[in-house]
């Protein structure tokens, strides 16, 4: 996201905001599938299916009928995709409440913290453009900080649950 916000001349004559559409849609689809698999309650799984489907269909129609949206940062897309993932994360917190040794709880915490903070930053993107360069860079650095925290939490989750690999049938 920092590359998308601060690059000068990378792709498409410096306009690489179209990449944000792939980022948000891809994030929504992948994390929707993840939460669909790990959640146990059928109602929550159905909500994930229905909400993800309608968000993707809504965005497809918006981009099909307004081609200009493809070349700009489309705030409703960022908010819809991200808040859906935050909702799925909350579902997992609720389902995990009181359960001992719940897998993916650290990862889920990282998703919740990073997606929520980046949503707030992306939502204030137009306001940030009117502020000084120092404030603009600070806010994007803050987003990068939360991303690093997210990566650290992913590592802790892996270390806690998946670092031990059983080697069977080794010569």
Rounded Cα–Cα distance for residues 121 and 70 (Å): 20
Rounded Cα–Cα distance for residues 125 and 122 (Å): 5
Rounded Cα–Cα distance for residues 124 and 131 (Å): 11
Q: In degrees rounded to 5, what are phi and psi of residue 72?
A: -125, 165
CA 106 to chain centre: 15
Instruction: Give 6's pLDDT tier (boundaries 50, 70, 90).
Output: low
DSSP 70: G
For the chain, how many residues are written? 171
Rounded Cα–Cα distance for residues 20 and 24 (Å): 6
Closest CA to 31 of 100, 97, 118: 118
Q: Are 43 and 94 in contact (CB under 8 A)?
A: no
Rounded Cα–Cα distance for residues 117 and 111 (Å): 10
pLDDT tens per residue, range 12-71: 555 667 788 888 999 999 999 999 999 999 999 999 999 999 999 999 999 899 888 888
Closest CA to 157 of 118, 93, 89, 110: 110
Bigger pLDDT: 156 vs 140: 156
pLDDT tens per residue, range 77-136: 989 999 999 999 999 999 998 887 788 998 999 999 999 998 888 887 666 667 777 877
Rounded Cα–Cα distance for residues 145 and 147 (Å): 5
């Amino acid at each position: 996201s920092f590359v998308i916000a601060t690059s000068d001349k990378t792709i498409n004559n410096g306009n690489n905001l179209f990449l944000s559409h792939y980022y948000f849609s891809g994030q929504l689809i992948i994390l929707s599938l993840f939460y669909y698999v790990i959640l146990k309650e059928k109602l929550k799984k159905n909500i994930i299916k229905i909400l993800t489907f309608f968000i993707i269909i809504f965005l497809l129609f918006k981009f099909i009928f307004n081609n200009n949206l493809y070349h700009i940062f489309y705030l409703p897309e960022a908010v819809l995709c991200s808040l859906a993932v935050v909702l799925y994360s909350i579902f997992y917190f609720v389902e995990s409440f009181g359960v001992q040794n719940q897998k993916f709880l650290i990862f889920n915490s990282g998703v919740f913290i990073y997606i929520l903070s980046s949503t707030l930053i992306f939502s204030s993107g137009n306001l940030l453009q009117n502020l000084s360069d120092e404030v603009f860079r600070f806010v994007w650095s803050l987003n990068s900080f939360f991303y690093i925290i997210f990566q650290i939490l992913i590592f802790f989750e892996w270390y806690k649950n998946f670092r031990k690999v059983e080697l069977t049938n080794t010569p």
